[in-house]
Amino acid sequence: MKRLCLSLALLATAITFTTNAQKNFKPWQEWSRNDAERILNDSPWGKTQVETDVSEMMFRPQAAPDARSGKSNADPERDSRGGATNQATTIKYRIRFLSAKPIRQAFARLIAFDQPAEDAKVKMYMNDFVERKFDQWIAVCVGFESRDQRFSGTALQAFASATTASLKNNTYLERKDGKRLYLHIYQAPSADGLGAKFIFERIVSERPFLNGDSGEVRFVSELGKLKLDTRFKVSEMMYDGKLEY
């Protein structure tokens, strides 16, 4: 009886993984803007981590200087940002597997919407970008957005000042079995609009770090006070019959 239950459980797992593998996507050139944004921000390959700062929801006027010392009693960190916001501030961190083909296709699709009259060179470049091979590397890119530019500026400073040396001991991919793969190379945000890039070796002990039995993969990185921590289900990362990450 126990063997029968185990066999049924394994069969259910296999069916689930096969179903995901057979999920059909329409050609990326036909994606709408919403389709592309969903792939980037809420899909098996792209997640959004939302951080909300509620410390300044209550109104706090700028403090007058102390009569004796002449120094302000105001919060220096708040003052450096230009005063209190008097409301909750939200920052969205977009964490994406850039080495997964659907993410590159989504980026390319959005560029096509923004530049409908792209020339042949641009088309060739975007095709090379989409078809680029990541046989040796896993690339995770992280972007961010906030309505309050003062807070997004703080995030930008954290990403811009980070280095491979400062991140290599607290940035990793972690499988469900607890095995961790630590950062190999970090690249700060550039003008390409892809965000900061975290590069990991794909092959570990002569085998790919992830496969269909990995369960889930967790991306973790600490950049000063900022901690990124997001989980992805590996079984859902199938695309055109292939595990994409």
Above 70 in pLDDT, residue 86? no
124 or 60, which is more confident?
Answer: 124
Residue 188 tokens read as 């700060």
For all residues of the chain together, what is the average pLDDT? Answer: 82
Q: What is the pTM of this model?
A: 0.78
Above 70 in pLDDT, residue 54? no
68 or 108, which is more confident?
Answer: 108
The mean pLDDT of 223-235, rounded to a whole number, is: 96
